């Protein structure tokens, strides 16, 4: 596609529920990144995929967060037992070159009530 | 302390004036420094980047300078226009974990307001 697509654009969920956030990167981009952005802050790194494998997941805050990219294209970020502190905009980016020239999606705004 | 520090947090200028945003970073091995512009409700958009083998790069009204010795880099916008109003983020590639990849780490952002 023309850009990075993220769905849904907005998600409201109840505390304790499970959510999945989807990212469809630019076709041909092998590197895919998830970031989390809280209000008034810069994007915070969560996890990076090179192809199908998670090359660096050191940014995931705890074991409630998990991400997959089974076919090296679309990625899903999964959050179990959501907490109010998980509320943020979750951004996905993809690139041809590892660590450079990211293109970001518009993000998914997650609100945990 | 933070890996990437950005100043100022807000910047208000008159149309036509110049705007300068400054960042410092901690990892001397960092070699890639992108700048992003984020408008309300949208994802960050890459506007310019610089690699460590270059001291300055310019693209029309936007320029970035890098001082590797001092570990700081700056964004310069000349002849500002109201449509330049947005939040600007600097980033520096930093290794997030031992043996891990170099991943851009972002500053906290600068809210630029250009008054017509």
Which two structure tokens, joined as six digits, stand for B25?
């970073």
b/e for A74-106, b at 16 or more Cβ within 10 A?
ebebebeebeeebbbbbbbbbbeebbbbbbbbb
What is residue A7's predicted lDDT score, i.e. its pLDDT?
Answer: 97
Nearest CB among A50, A56, A106 relative to B96 is that of A56
- How many residues comprise chain A? 113
Q: Name the helix (H) or strand (E) containing B19.
A: strand B19-25
Cβ-in-10-Å burial (0-12, 13-18, 19+) of B53 comes to exposed
* Residues B62, B60: Cα–Cα separation, whole Å: 6
Share of chain B above pLDDT 90, in %: 78
Q: Cβ of B54 under 8 Å from any chain A Cβ?
A: no
Could you tell me if A4 and A105 are in contact, meaning their C-beta atoms sit under 8 angstroms apart? yes
Q: Which residue of B has its CA nearest to A99?
A: B103
Q: pLDDT class for B104, splitting at 50, 70, 90?
A: confident
Q: Cβ of A102 under 8 Å from any chain B Cβ?
A: yes
What is residue A96's predicted lDDT score, i.e. its pLDDT?
Answer: 86
Q: Which residue of A has its CA nearest to B33?
A: A100
Nearest CA-CA partner of A107 in A93, A94, A91: A91
As a three-state string, the secondary structure of B47-80 is EEEEECCCCEEEECCEEEEEECCCCEEEEEECCC
Could you tell me if B105 and B32 are in contact, meaning their C-beta atoms sit under 8 angstroms apart? no
Q: Is the pLDDT of residue B96 over 80?
A: no
Average pLDDT, chain B: 93
Runs of H (alpha helix) within chain A: none
Q: Is the pLDDT of residue B1 over 70?
A: no
Q: Residues B7-38: pLDDT tens digits?
A: 999 999 999 999 999 999 998 889 899 999 99
Whether A99 and B107 lie within 8 Å, measured CB to CB: no
Q: Cβ of A111 under 8 Å from any chain B Cβ?
A: no
SS3 B1: coil
Min distance A19 CA to chain B CA atoms (Å): 21
Q: Residues A52-101: pLDDT tens digits?
A: 888 889 999 999 999 999 999 999 999 999 999 999 999 999 998 766 77
Q: Cβ of B80 under 8 Å from any chain A Cβ?
A: no
* Residues B33, A89: Cα–Cα separation, whole Å: 23
* Residues B43, B106: Cα–Cα separation, whole Å: 14
Whether A40 and B101 lie within 8 Å, measured CB to CB: no
53-92 in chain A: CB under 8 A from chain B: 55-56, 58-59, 91
Whether A102 and B109 lie within 8 Å, measured CB to CB: no
Whether A101 and B36 lie within 8 Å, measured CB to CB: no
Q: Cβ of B99 under 8 Å from any chain A Cβ?
A: no
């Amino acid at each position: 596609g023309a850009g990075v697509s993220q769905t849904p654009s907005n998600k409201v969920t109840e505390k304790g529920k499970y959510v999945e956030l989807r990212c469809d990167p630019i076709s041909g981009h092998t590197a895919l990144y998830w970031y989390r952005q809280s209000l008034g802050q810069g994007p915070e790194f969560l996890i990076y995929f090179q192809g199908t494998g998670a090359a660096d997941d050191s940014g995931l805050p705890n074991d409630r967060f998990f991400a997959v990219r089974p076919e090296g294209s679309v990625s899903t970020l999964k959050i179990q037992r959501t907490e109010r502190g998980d509320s943020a905009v979750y951004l996905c980016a993809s690139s041809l070159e590892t660590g450079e020239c990211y293109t970001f999606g518009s993000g998914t705004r997650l609100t945990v009530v | 302390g933070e890996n990437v520090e950005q100043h100022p947090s807000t910047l208000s200028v008159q149309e036509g004036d110049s705007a300068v945003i400054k960042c410092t970073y901690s990892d001397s091995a960092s070699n890639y420094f992108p700048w992003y512009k984020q408008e309300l409700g949208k994802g960050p958009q890459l506007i310019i980047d610089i690699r460590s083998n270059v001291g300055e790069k310019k693209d029309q009204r936007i320029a970035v300078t890098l001082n590797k010795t001092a570990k700081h880099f700056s964004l310069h916008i000349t002849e500002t226009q109201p449509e330049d109003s947005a939040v600007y983020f600097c980033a520096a590639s930093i290794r997030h974990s031992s043996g891990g990849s170099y991943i851009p780490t972002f500053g906290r952002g600068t809210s630029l307001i250009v008054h017509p």
